[in-house]
Structure 1
């Protein structure tokens, strides 16, 4: 009898919690109706911009929330705007309502108390579809605990591209990349830090070259930076001497690398977008002979998030937008290779049979790797490493 009563009490408590959560979300939906959310997000890719436009139409139709895309060239610009508003005591109705963020920018906002939350666990689609234990990057953003202060939006992993007509067997490690560069001078390059993909190349190389990988998960000021990174600078000295333009000039980003690959000026390009090659082939920017691959030992991967500044005047609307982006509908659309190809953050096991079928029916794309083919995802170093690596790189190589 006691066990039956205890079980009934637990069931009743869970039901009450669920009903309270549903009621709270209904209040959020009511408050959000009619609001305009200024979404600050990188605007450097047409296909991503088009996806956000698609989402804006759906959000307006279903929730009467207007989503305005504020296109950024650098996420830090929006972070600095919120920081300036706090310094000026503008604690309400700030200019940024939602921000696409991760890494050092999230750490900066969290450390400066610039974030609204915790809020992500209160989103219905988060509690229904996301498993934070499935991947470390869902709960640790570049080493900074997420703690509900941002909502996952997508997952990315570094992939490399080559034209099979001119390069059949590409190098599949950082060491082999240098060997190839020495045998083929002028054919290898990478974007110039602090462009994020250039900084990612530094992290990828460091991860493979250093003898102290454990140090990378620690704050950079707690380790011997010079000792840990010495192999990286020696490697880059060698690479630059045989790189494209003799290491005197570097591409501005993935887009320029893709153009150089298409023009056959370089042999390898790379991207954080696993469907980048497929998208560029479909748009006529790369030949159909281009294919994607990853290094044998794995490549850097991470989760990107949506966060709400503490002084947004439309927090309810921002939460509704974040929740929509976690819906199976939005995640399926985003993962379509011709749309974006961004990997879903939803747990497959939590999906309904109908939603599983939608993901399974997604076209793979002519040059897009499956999740299995992507192989091992290497962890991002602690976010404090980014600034340290970029500063050291610029002191050594910037012209």
Structure 2
């Protein structure tokens, strides 16, 4: 399989040795007085934010998401005189490595990352290194509308959020399939293996460490261990055996894959294109609206349907966070607050825009805000979490790294 392993620490090495000669990508904040959240009001934060440039580091692989971020930029420019720059990432670990390298170089207050789209192991790494500003969530006026009883917003991959990142949306791992060729989609890993043996070459998955590819491995891990409580703890010598059935399964699956597993799609977008081209019968996505939007755009055939396995679906929250050394903390907070506004959340939830599930408790919104979501629901342009089988919580972040490392050792060429 043609996979280039990416090392988080390789990024740190490259960045820290180049940092001394690096021209700052962001200008320092115009406010020289340190931001103390306990001694400032929200109107004062908005005033200090005016005129700032906010460098938002976020994955840039989906044109719909990029277009949404451009819309956010136009809105915050008009409303708050903020300039939003989308720093497009191939992998969030690039920005995390840069932040940690800046810390190592003593760059404590004029960092190049003001806002970062984040969750999981990347959040865990920054939190462990005390490189997240806050707690910030409770300071944001629009945080009152967030579904604060949602487990995925309380713990992120079993790590307490503690207000250090701001909920932005919910994701769930869904399966897309062509109902013309698949009349009875598999409902468990065992059924998937049986289907693949009867239909060789018609299934594949993105190569880890792609986020969706690794999530496929984690869903297998949870299914094979029946959500063993050890998955909520760091991987250890006494628990790593829990992953053995995953790789035994993959060993059996490999010769049955598209192109006999000699190569895998690089990400979920490439896998979706294989489905569109009729090369395979399944695709995987962390956006439950992906199949519907693909049909509406004409990329996917009308016979493509979306489902989750009866064994459950891996789900998580995704967030934005502000690094401890951000140059434009006030501007980043204003943007994070705007992202939680009912108008911004409803637009994001629109299947024709992005289709990302909202972070808000819609039932507790004011009537005018509820109407935004009700209109989408009436027009069948809204997906809600309760439309799917039971959700499966993410394991401890160390399992992500362990599964990726073992997968790369066994299968990457």
Q: Same fold (TM over 0.5)?
A: yes
Once the two structures are TM-superposed, the CA of residue 222 in structure 1 deviates from its matched residue by 6.8
**Aligned residue pairs: how many?**
377
Once the two structures are TM-superposed, the CA of residue 282 in structure 1 deviates from its matched residue by 2.6
Distance 1:21 1:332 in 2: 31
> Which of 127, 131, 147 in structure 1 is aligned with 2:147?
131
Distance 1:188 1:302 in 2: 25
Closer/same/farther in 2, CA of residues 243 and 120 from structure 1, 3 Å limit: same
8 Å contact 2:373–2:382 — kept in the other structure?
Answer: no
Post-superposition CA distance 1:180-222 (Å, at most 9, x none): 0011111111110111111000001111112562111111127
Closer/same/farther in 2, CA of residues 29 and 211 from structure 1, 3 Å limit: closer
8 Å contact 1:182–1:242 — kept in the other structure?
Answer: yes
- 1:251 corresponds to: 265
Please give the residue correspondences for 1:380-395 in structure 2 after superposition, counting only pairs within 5 Å: 380-395=394-409
Post-superposition CA distance 1:343-365 (Å, at most 9, x none): 01111232011211211111578
- 1:13 corresponds to: none
> Which of 62, 74, 77 in structure 2 is aligned with 1:60?
77
- 1:282 corresponds to: 296
- 1:10 corresponds to: none
Q: Which 4+ runs in 1 deviate beyond 4 A?
A: 20-23, 363-370
- 1:16 corresponds to: none
Closer/same/farther in 2, CA of residues 285 and 216 from structure 1, 3 Å limit: same
Closer/same/farther in 2, CA of residues 212 and 137 from structure 1, 3 Å limit: closer
8 Å contact 1:337–1:363 — kept in the other structure?
Answer: no
Query: What is the alpha-carbon root mean square deviation over aligned residues?
Result: 1.8
- 2:184 corresponds to: 169
Task: Name the TM-score, length of structure 1 as normaliser.
Answer: 0.91
Name the larger-Rg structure. Answer: 1
Distance 2:369 2:381 in 1: 24
Please give the residue correspondences for 1:312-331 in structure 2 after superposition, counting only pairs within 5 Å: 312-331=326-345
Distance 1:31 1:132 in 2: 28
> Which of 66, 87, 91 in structure 2 is aligned with 1:49?
66
- 2:385 corresponds to: 371
Please give the residue correspondences for 1:12-23 in structure 2 after superposition, counting only pairs within 5 Å: none
Closer/same/farther in 2, CA of residues 114 and 356 from structure 1, 3 Å limit: same
8 Å contact 2:350–2:381 — kept in the other structure?
Answer: no
Distance 1:151 1:367 in 2: 25
- 2:224 corresponds to: 209
1:241 aligned counterpart, secondary structure: helix
Distance 1:347 1:273 in 2: 19
Distance 1:30 1:124 in 2: 15
Task: Name the TM-score, length of structure 2 as normaliser.
Answer: 0.88
Is residue 345 from structure 1 mapped to residue 359 from structure 2 by the alignment? yes
8 Å contact 1:210–1:232 — kept in the other structure?
Answer: no
- 1:34 corresponds to: 51
- 1:152 corresponds to: 167
Please give the residue correspondences for 1:78-89 in structure 2 after superposition, counting only pairs within 5 Å: 78-89=95-106
1:132 aligned counterpart, secondary structure: coil
Distance 1:94 1:195 in 2: 27
Query: Unmatched 5+ residue regions in structure 1?
Result: 1-19
Post-superposition CA distance 1:365-391 (Å, at most 9, x none): 879854332121110001111110100
2:167 aligned counterpart, secondary structure: strand
8 Å contact 1:336–1:363 — kept in the other structure?
Answer: no
Structure 1 stretch displaced more, 44-53 or 61-70? 61-70
Distance 2:337 2:382 in 1: 27
8 Å contact 1:117–1:149 — kept in the other structure?
Answer: yes
Once the two structures are TM-superposed, the CA of residue 256 in structure 1 deviates from its matched residue by 1.1
Once the two structures are TM-superposed, the CA of residue 249 in structure 1 deviates from its matched residue by 1.2
8 Å contact 1:278–1:367 — kept in the other structure?
Answer: no
- 2:236 corresponds to: 221
Query: Unmatched 5+ residue regions in structure 2?
Result: 1-36
2:41 aligned counterpart, secondary structure: helix
Distance 1:367 1:195 in 2: 28
Post-superposition CA distance 1:252-274 (Å, at most 9, x none): 11111111111211111110011
1:266 aligned counterpart, secondary structure: coil
1:362 aligned counterpart, secondary structure: helix
